[in-house]
Chain A
Amino acid sequence: MASLDSKIPAGPLKDKWTNHKNNINLVNPANKRLIDVIVVGTGLAGGSAAATLAELGYNVKAFCYQDSPRRAHSIAAQGGINAAKNYQGDGDSTYRLFYDTVKGGDYRSREANVYRLAEVSGNIIDQCVAQGVPFAREYGGLLDNRSFGGVLVSRTFYAKGQTGQQLLLGAYSAMNRQIARGKIEMFNRHEMLDLVIVDGKARGIIARNLVTGEIERHSAHAVVIASGGYGNVYYLSTNAMGSNVTAAWKTHKRGAYFANPCFTQIHPTCIPRSGDYQSKLTLMSESLRNDGRIWVPKKLEDVEAIRAGKLKPTQIAEEDRDYYLERRYPAFGNLVPRDVASRAAKERCDAGYGVNATSEAVYLDFQSAIERYGREQAKVQNINNPSHDKIIELGEKVVEAKYGNLFQMYEKITDENPYKTPMMIYPATHYTMGGVWVDYNLMTTVPGCYAIGEANFSDHGANRLGASALMQGLADGYFVLPYTIGDYLADDIRTGKIPTDTPEFDEAEKAVLERIDFFVNNKGSKSVDHFHKRLGKVMWDKVGMSRNEQGLKEAIEEIRQIREEFWKEVRVPGSSEGMNTELEKAGRVADFLELGELFAKDALERTESCGGHFREESVEEDGPQKGEAKRDDANFTFVSAWEYKGDPKDAVLRKEELKYENIELKQRSYK
């Protein structure tokens, strides 16, 4: 059994990282050339790590399943990246970013990791600007900021509604420089299918070339997993179609504990489902909640009229609108954290106030913002007594400058004009706080195997604040891993190249080939998507926004049944040679069918409610927080790290106790 030592350095919180960097081992620049590192996944975390490690002199091999590293799903992040620069002079600081993140995570993250994140956040912005990332600027030429959910300061830097793409292009450009120098060998259209362990250390991967179908062996002195989150276990999520848990899950099966799988984030503002054919859900950035106001009609007869097409939302008077977030949470209003906003939307929709045919939609309305901006612009432009139409015209221009591409995206999908009628939105699976367990050095319980970005569990606790994922990905890849991995690799300066013709590689490759052979030869009757959709439905219905004991037990049973049937009935046409998209999907869904069960088991085990994990049995009964999630700090202030034992039902729970030395655990109130 591997130890769950988080390896948090001693000393005061604000000095831990500095002292750690000063004391860890370094690798001589000439020796770095003798060391190979594999990075799986080229999103913000993987891309920045690959670029930085290559700059430092290591030989890097990077892998992605798409046709270019710049396709990673980090590009889809819209709203922004947090950093404690306090450019707005509104009270921000490293400490406050740290505190907001721990509180936002509902006190289930590791203090030291989060503090470090806040500490390096400012440098991330400096680095990105130096790389040529075109952040939005004010008229004075300086960087602009906006607010995000769960905080009272404006600390989010953004690039229109495309911050993720711009940051990823920054990391990608840094990678390109290293690829040109020959320091990164890039393997596009390759998928990692297993981790190879030699003498107890991660020493390589088995990868499939998705174009030729060939199985390849790649060795290294350390392996970095940066493969993103597992939201697609729900089939419908805001993730890309190819996003999967395979790389992370394979490391779990090889000994890396998987932590807090039940902590998943459901984002409150996504475009609602339009039908059964839906293949994914589209995110509407949280930044819209800076200006949009969320509401449902107060009167049920208005709701009915809207659904029947007899009434338009614009015809409903202000006093007949229930701005329920502003009503329930005066201090934070529409900018409450995502888990709070999602549950509030579900509450109103379950009560019958949902504004579309399936009662799964609420309004995100920009009318007040358009009017406010219009009046402000009229003043700036010295227009006296502007007409209402003029105000609207000016206001719409401002909104377009801020959110233009998001509004266009919405219109293309729904065929409705969000400048003239409120957007319809509904919660959807978006991010996974859970992931592979890592210590302070971002190393998993498998020596030499690291996990960074969304693939690991570390910094967001039970709920991630908006604009923090981008921050964590880049912090891990640019500023944390390159130091901590050096400490481990200092022992490998004399090891020499790791050979791939050893029994361990033989065994791993054989297992991969067997699984592939099974899929292409199985005489099944149902497509991979059939099983994926069934799994997704069970997960959403019983392991979604609101969970209870009975539902979770049923979910576990149903997932087991679906998995059993999958291995009997899955049909994968074509052969293992050449490109075979159904074969790719089969492998990923097979892993989701195991993760899903562990996820439900984790949710069953954790009987408290915290962050994105809401147990109906654990709710505040009365007082000002009535109906809100009720934590059980006495019994659950720990990280659930699961050890693989074959069948998900046999996974063993290891607890990492969380000690808070610098923060007092409080009821998380946003009222």
Chain B
Amino acid sequence: MNLTLKIWRQPNAKATGKMETYNVTDISEHMSFLEMLDVLNEQLVASGDEPVAFDHDCREGICGMCSLHINGEPHGPDRGVTTCQLHMRQFKDGDTIHIEPFRAKAFPIVKDLVVDRSAFDRIQHAGGYISVNTSGNTQDANAIPIPKDDADEAMDAATCIGCGACVASCKNASAMLFVSAKVSQYALLPQGQVEAKDRVLNMVDQMDKEGFGNCTNTGACEVECPKGISIENIARLNREYLSATITND
């Protein structure tokens, strides 16, 4: 298939960006989206131009690096996939594809399609952990049985890859789905109980400081999340937060 690509180019953080138009031909439907961009980039390098910069690494849907807004949706038109898992069979010959970076005040653009998501790391620094040292003398792993359902739900929340599609899809650029997934994992496990209150208060506090918007229960995040994280986690986060606010001294 032959395609027209409209891509956001921006040389660095301070420069003004704009959409540029490119053409690619003979794209196989079995190619992944990023492999299609590789074809474009080879063309650009061959003519001495700078290739389009975009974040990517594992190309198998788990590292969370790839973050392209494709035809108006973070990670493109398919459900339950990251950008790197999107394949060209989702498009047809003659299509025009719009490609932009994830847009949010809290995700400043670095170059072209690369954004700075260190806000997510800073939220994690604020409380996304259990305070246990590596001592090798912690109790036996089976000492505390955890109901399978709780373990499975914690695992579901823990599958979050920190890509930021939730933020990009939200009209308020809210990070609630991300924060709630992290808080939920620990809230569902006995090991997370000891610090549950401080954790949720500190993480939400940092989230607010980073400039993310507030949640208005739109639900776009859940639809676009490549790992299918449920907004029930947001409900849980709200409960944890309320409980911590009321009962904390």
Contact = CB atoms under 8 A, between A and B. Distances in A.
Given A138-B148, A173-B129, A482-B134, A573 B35 contact: no
Given A177-B129, A412-B85, A242 B57 contact: yes
B46 interface: yes
Given A76-B62, A242-B57, A176 B129 contact: yes
Nearest to B140: A126
A67 B117 contact: yes
B146 A55 contact: no
Contacts of A546: none
A278 B117 contact: no
Which of A71, A85, A164 has its CB near the most chain B CB atoms (within 10 A)? A71
Interface stretch (B96-104, B171-179, B185-193, B216-224): B185-193
Interface string A552-566: 000000000000000
Interface in B110-155: 110-111, 114, 116-118, 120-121, 124-126, 128-142, 144-148, 151-152, 154-155
B57 A277 contact: no
B42 interface: yes
A199 interface: no
A68 interface: yes
B182 to A, nearest CB: 9
B74 interface: no
B28 A67 contact: no
A562 to B, nearest CB: 18
Contacts of B242: none
A280 interface: yes
Contacts of B78: 412
Contacts of B65: 66-67, 71
B63 interface: yes
A132 B186 contact: yes
Given A131-B191, A143-B141, A143-B142, A409 B136 contact: no
Interface string A233-277: 000000011100000000000000000000000000000001101
B162 interface: yes
Interface in A394-438: 405, 408-409, 412-413, 415
Nearest to B80: A408
Contacts of A409: 60-61, 85
B45 interface: yes
A68 B185 contact: no
Contacts of B125: 176, 179-180
A120 B62 CA distance: 28
A51 B185 CA distance: 21
Interface residues of A, number: 83
A412 B38 CA distance: 19
A134 B151 contact: yes
B46 A275 contact: no
Contacts of B56: 241
A129 interface: yes
A362 to B, nearest CB: 19
Interface in A87-125: 87, 120, 123, 125
B116 A67 contact: yes
A415 B128 CA distance: 37
Contacts of B87: 412-413, 415
A176 B128 contact: yes
Interface stretch (A372-380, A576-584, A596-604, A611-619): A576-584
Contacts of B186: 132
A312 to B, nearest CB: 20
Interface in B31-48: 31-32, 34-35, 38-39, 42, 44-46, 48
Contact of A529 (B42, B159, B185): B42
A413 B130 contact: no
Given A73-B63, A173-B129, A67 B111 contact: no
Contacts of A72: 63
A53 B19 CA distance: 46
B30 interface: yes
A75 interface: yes
A143 B126 CA distance: 29
B148 A139 contact: yes
Contacts of A127: 132, 134-136, 138
Contacts of A130: 130, 132, 138-139, 191
A252 B80 CA distance: 42
A408 B151 CA distance: 21
A76 B63 contact: yes
Nearest to B132: A130
A70 B123 CA distance: 13
Contact of A277 (B38, B121, B191): B38
A279 B66 CA distance: 15
Contact of A67 (B89, B118, B191): B118
A68 B51 contact: no
A173 B123 CA distance: 11
Interface string A199-242: 00000000000010000000000000000000000000000111
Contacts of A240: 57-59, 63
24 contacts: A67-B117, A73-B63, A76-B62, A87-B142, A120-B136, A126-B136, A126-B140, A127-B136, A130-B130, A132-B189, A134-B154, A134-B158, A137-B145, A160-B155, A169-B158, A174-B132, A176-B128, A179-B125, A211-B110, A241-B59, A274-B30, A529-B38, A571-B48, A579-B12
Of all A-B residue pairs in the complex, the 10 with the closest CB atoms, nearest first, are A141-B145, A173-B129, A134-B155, A134-B154, A137-B151, A240-B57, A130-B138, A129-B141, A123-B136, A274-B30
Given A67-B117, A176-B129, 15 more contacts: A68-B162, A75-B62, A126-B138, A126-B139, A127-B138, A131-B129, A131-B191, A137-B151, A277-B31, A409-B61, A412-B61, A412-B81, A413-B85, A527-B46, A574-B50
